[in-house]
Structure 1
Amino acid sequence: MSYIVLPMTSPSPTLQTSAESEHASSRRWWTLSVVALAQLMVVLDSTVVNIALPAAQADLGFSNGDRQWIITAYSLAFGSLLLLGGRLSDLIGRKRTFIIGLVGFAASSAIGGAAGTFGMLVAARAAQGAFGALLAPTALAVLTTTFTIPKERARAFGVFGAIAGAGGAVGLLLGGFLTEKLDWRWNLYINVIIAIVAVIGASIFVANMHRTGPRPKLDIPGTLIVSGALFSLVYGFSNAETDGWDSPLTWGFLAAAGVLLIAFVLWQRRAAHPLLPLSIVLDRNRGAAYSSVLIAGAGMFGIFLFVTYYLQASLGYSPIQTGLSFLPMIGMLVLAAQLSTNIFVPRFGPKIMVPFGMTLGVIGMIYLTHLDLNSTYAADVLPPLLILGFAMGSIMPASMQTATLGVDRHFAGVASAMVNTSQQVGGSIGTALLNTLAATAATDYIASHTPPSARVMAEAAVHSYATAYWWGAGFFAFGAVLAALLFRRRGQGLSLSHDPAPAATTDDAPEPVVAH
């Protein structure tokens, strides 16, 4: 009697029943819903907390100088731990990491919402950032390893990219509503509600991936080096925003970041179990995708921050009116994301679509420079917002999809973390540079228009926003050129229809069949 052990594989598409295929497809889309909900929670958080800051400051009584730490505590923890969070999802399992991230983020949000002191709120925000660094790259990695069929993958990344781009604007609307109608604390409590739904969904729909072969070890030296580098980088830019570019602390931390990043690259070349295999970022397509996400993140900051300032301070909009003003941009972004991933990217590839989106970003930013104290929403604000929405819908899905394409599934988490890291660093650069440039422009304008009346102060603010828009246009122009040069032409290297990895071995996979 002989035994033949058949390999553990999924049934071939020709032998699958239509019911099995339909069930698997349905499960994948439910997984997307859960992942999208988690991503929306992370993206929303920074914006809704920004809206809640004045009310929180009045309630807890902290100073203007301390106010920045509510934002900085989150961004420091989030930015410095992203690569570690992504790698942990590769090592301990994505479903487990995803649920841990959701529970931790919700608990931290609840503590922050109940905070009675400034110190407690800052600690809660730092904890949110740490669990967010675990959750955000894991969500993208789950998406990457769940959707391997090219057509479904394109649709899934279209939804995910739309959420990544539109979440900030949705946060403005939600934050304004919660602050005005309820209480600033609900800007944090809302995460608990979202997380409970996402945990239930993840428990049911997100599949476990079983590793074959020995479990690799965590690169502890590499983790410490890159975490220190990212902490120094984010802190350096945050300090530039508050203390200026002439601060020794700013340049000290930025210099330390540069040294540590060089040390990290050198260590990754010789590490037995590298945290971030250099082949992931050295591939031209993926390198172009990470660069595009970083540049778009820096440019987009000017839209949300300075348009918000303009609508509220210059035109007198309420927080809710400001949030509603961004809704058409969100609608255009979602439309563009779906058109891009389902029609344009498969036909033209990222080499065409990303520079196209960047060029639209330039046009939208230049349009915004013409705003003044007499501008109207319909004629002067709405058109550039629609253009910029289409721009981000063309850039983000194509870049995110390309950034994780072709990566070994055992490194999908850390490759996904690089997307979030690029976006976070881009936001930090945009925050520091654009705020500094805008503040300088406002000061120069007031100095050249004496005496500084209320009218002059208002005009100085609008002038400073225009300066930020011009620099934002410059970011997008640089991104257009860089993307056109770096992305490969269709048919060269990785293709967007390439399956990134073999299908995962999950709890739903059939057991080995033993035949006599």
Structure 2
Amino acid sequence: MVNVNPKPSPNAQHGRLLLPVLLTVQFLVSLDMSVVNIALPDMGDDLGFAPDSLLWVVNAYALAFGGLLMLGGRLADLVGRRRTLTWGFALFGAASLAGGCALAPGQLIAARAVQGAGAAALAPVALALITVHYAAGPARSRALGLWGVSGALGGAVGIMAGGLLTDWVGWRSVMLVNVPVVLAALIAARRGVTADRRTGPAPRLDVTGALLVTAGATLLVLGLARTQTHGWTTATTLGTLAASVALLAAFVAVEARKREPLLRLGLLGTAHRPVRSANVFALLMSSGQFAAFYFTSLHLQQVMAYGPTAAGAAFLPFCAGVVAGSAVATRTVGRFGERTLLVAGGLLGAAGFGWFALTAEPGSTFLGSVLGPSIVASVGIGLCFVPLGSAATGGVAPEETGMASGLLNSSRQLGGSLGLAVLVTVAASATGQGRGRAALADGHAAAFAVSAGLLVAAALATAVLHGRRTAPAAAPPAPARTPESTGGEETPKNLGDDVETGVSRSMQE
């Protein structure tokens, strides 16, 4: 097995480079979930996509990402975090380059699938490295705060950047823009993440579990994604979802008997109530949040007649609110605990989406129906990132942090796919046969209302499942730090100040 304590590094840049690398991971994987959306019509016209196949540019990424997350998280524990990180970056960058040079629909779809596989290796290892390298307390809270901000900014910036790049440069730029970022991140990762050190016997991967969970999760995302074209009651949808349930049930049965499982089921037991609560919260919050992003973009363009660039710019208040909420959570999680912040953030996010539902109508204005709801919802969501990451990995053995991180990211990804599939159906039902702005606004309002209900459910589930608060009221005095106690090297003394400065600077910008 790879030792979770990496070799000490004399490189003074290690502490300064580690966090930027991990934030780049979170930003990139979120960015590429949304950056292609506005470029889809241009992609279709240029490459000759059939109308019913264009959506696979989005679905191919989501399928590979969601299906391989558990495997990616466990690989980080078994073969090493830096090795998994560099492999993930290399795969992601190569796929981005191939997608930008694609000459046929199949080439672009394949590139997007490989991108998703790279993202599935990157996302879990980023959270695992934060958990391992930053001791519980203010430093970890600040790192988790910026980790959450990076993900939210990636999703919002993806919408804005997709419009700007498509309008000014062309659709290929939304793929190629990743390449220089990945190259810089790869160089920084080689310097900023300590090398993995193997001790003991060679690691063994739970191949049966990996095949079952990958196939089951992929079929689940596939079945949900195709409800927009096949409907919920068709044999295709029901058969796909039934096969997914059967495979995931078989995965649970296999894992219960494995000595070295891909997912130790005890992580979701009563001994790890915060982990279980965090994953339920992530599933429900992502169901509402991802779908609300989708319908906000549609409402701005279809009802309020915004162009792609203006619609992207309208997301900037949401970005600012997420930064502000994360900054508040960073400073207060030690005082109030994870459960309190998750409940408060979920209810505040629900209030913002409810506000969207009440004001989503023709003739609405940015100041009257977008700005206020965006700030309220985003501050609430921002409050959740620090306690969510902390709860999902808190109390987990170092050699299982990749497992726990993969589980959390799987919950978020599957929640987003489920929420979008359900809310598209809700919006279509509310819209009926109407095609005018008023009918579309009714559909969007219904979707926002359900999003608000999902965040209320997330808050209530946390209040019941999480148990007593787990965050310490104050960090205890730290003993003398050694390489063994700090994951292989001494944490820079000014790390917390640097992270806090980054939050403050982001808020000012």
1:275 to 262, 266, 272: 262
User: Aligned to 1:394, which of 379, 383, 393?
Assistant: 383
- 2:214 is aligned to 227
Pairwise CA distance, 1:119 = 0.6
Partner residue, 2:499: none
Deviation of 1:199 after TM superposition, in Å, equals 0.4
Structure 1 match to 2:497: none
Q: Indicate whether 1:130 and 2:130 are aligned.
A: no
Q: Deviations over 1:245-289 (max 9, x none)?
A: 011111112112222222211211111211111122222100111
- State the AA in 1 paired with 2:351: I
- Provide Cα deviations, 1:417-463, integer angstroms capped at 9, x if missing partner: 1111011101100110011111121115x3xxxxxxxxx61111000
**Cα separation, partners in 2 of 1:293 and 1:497, compared to 1, 3 Å:** farther
List 4+ stretches of structure 1 deviating above 3 A. Answer: 8-11, 494-499, 501-509
Preserved contact between residue 351 and residue 483 of structure 1 (Cα < 8 Å)? yes
Q: Supply the AA of the counterpart residue of 2:348.
A: L
Which of 44, 49, 67 is the equivalent residue of 1:57? 44
Q: 1:385 to 1:111 in 2, by over 3 A?
A: same
CA distance 1:202–1:9, change in 2 (3 Å): closer
1:254 maps onto 2:233 in alignment: no
Give, in angstroms, the shift of residue 382 of structure 1: 0.3
- Give the whole-Å Cα distance in 1 for the aligned partners of 2:297 and 2:308: 9
The answer on whether the counterparts of 1:209 and 1:507 sit within 8 Å (CA) in structure 2 is no
Aligned match of 2:303: 314
- Counterpart amino acid of residue 442 in structure 2: H
**1:476-487 → structure 2 map (5 Å cutoff):** 476-487=455-466
The residue number in structure 2 matching 1:284 is 273
The C-alpha deviation readout for 1:64-105, integer Å capped at 9, x for no partner, is 211111111111111111111111111111111101110110
**Aligned residues of 1:36 and 1:163 also touching (Cα < 8 A):** yes
Alignment check: 8 A CA contact 2:160 2:309 kept: yes
Please say which structure displays the higher CA radius of gyration: 1
Which of 351, 359, 374 does residue 363 from structure 1 map onto? Answer: 351
CA drift of 1:244 comes to 0.9
Residue type at the aligned position of 1:259? A
Aligned counterpart for 2:87 among listed residues 70, 82, 100: 100
Encode CA deviations 1:96-116: one digit per residue, 9 max, x unaligned. 110111011010011111111
Letter in 1 for 2:451: G
2:268 aligned partner, one-letter code: V
Cα gap change, 1:55/1:314 in structure 2, threshold over 3 Å: closer, same or farther?
A: same
Given candidates 12, 37, 40, the residue that maps to 2:24 is: 37
Tell me the equivalent position of 1:330. 319
Question: Contact 1:169 / 1:330 at 8 angstroms: preserved in 2?
Answer: yes
Higher deviation after alignment, 425-434 or 278-287: 278-287
Match of 1:424 among 413, 417, 423: 413
Structure 1's unaligned 5+ residue stretches are 1-7, 12-19, 447-455, 510-516
Shift of 1:211: 3.7
Q: Give runs of aligned pairs for residues 186-265 of structure 1, distance below 5 A.
A: 186-265=173-252
- What are the ranges of 5 or more consecutive residues in structure 2 without an aligned counterpart? 492-509
Letter of the structure 1 residue corresponding to residue 312 of structure 2 = G
Distance 1:105 1:92 in 2: 19
Indicate if the aligned counterparts of 2:17 and 2:191 stay in contact, CA closer than 8 A: no
Cα distance in 2 for residues equivalent to 1:210 and 1:136: 21
Select which of 343, 358, 362 maps to 1:373.
Answer: 362
Amino acid at match of 1:269: A
Q: Using the alignment, how far apart are the partners of 2:6 and 2:305 within structure 1?
A: 62
Aligned to 1:346: 334
Q: Give me the whole-angstrom Cα distance separating, in 1, the residues matched to 2:79 and 2:328.
A: 36
Residue aligning to 1:91: 78
Seen in structure 2, the aligned counterparts of structure 1 residues 237 and 10 have a Cα distance that, compared at 3 Å, is closer
SS of 1:51's equivalent in the other structure is: coil
SS in 1 for 2:318: helix
Counterpart-to-counterpart distance in 2, 1:487 and 1:495: 17
Q: Does the C-alpha gap of structure 1 residues 474 and 149 become closer, same or farther in structure 2, counting only changes over 3 Å?
A: closer
The equivalent residue for 1:475 is 454
Q: Is the 8 A contact 2:334 2:473 kept in 1?
A: no
Return the offset for 1:57.
0.8
Residues 153-196 of structure 1 deviation map (CA, whole Å, 9 limit, x = unaligned)? 01000000111223211111111111111111110001101101
Give the 3-state SS of the residue equivalent to 1:396 in structure 2.
Answer: helix
Counterpart of 2:78 in 1: which secondary structure?
helix
Distance 2:484 2:455 in 1: 36
Change in Cα spacing, 1:96 to 1:438, as seen in structure 2 (3 Å) is: same
Superposition map of 1:147-162 within 5 A:
147-162=134-149
Give 1:51's aligned amino acid.
I
Deviation (angstroms), 1:491: 5.3
1:27, CA displacement in angstroms? 3.2
Which stretch shifts more, 165-174 or 418-427?
A: 165-174
Match of 1:414 in 2: 403
Match of 2:504 in 1: none
CA 10–232 in structure 1, closer or farther in 2 if over 3 Å, else same: closer
Residue equivalent to 1:463: 442
Letter of the 1:414 counterpart? M
8 A Cα contact 2:61 2:114, kept in partner:
yes
CA shift for structure 1 position 149: 4.7
Q: Which of residues 295, 298, 320 is equivalent to 2:287? A: 298
CA-CA distance at 1:484 after TM superposition? 0.7
Q: What CA RMSD, in Å, does the superposition of the two structures yield over aligned residues? A: 2.3
**Per-residue deviation, 1:213:** 2.5
For the structure 1 residues 316 and 348, does the alpha-carbon distance in structure 2 shift closer, same or farther, using more than 3 Å as the test?
Answer: same
Matches within 5 A, 1:74-85: 74-85=61-72
The amino acid across from 2:21 in the alignment is V
- For the residues of structure 1 that align with 2:464 and 2:310, how far apart are their CA atoms? 41
Q: TM-score, normalised by structure 1?
A: 0.88
The amino acid that maps onto 2:329 is S
- Cα gap change, 1:167/1:422 in structure 2, threshold over 3 Å: closer, same or farther? same
**Match for residue 514 of structure 1?**
none
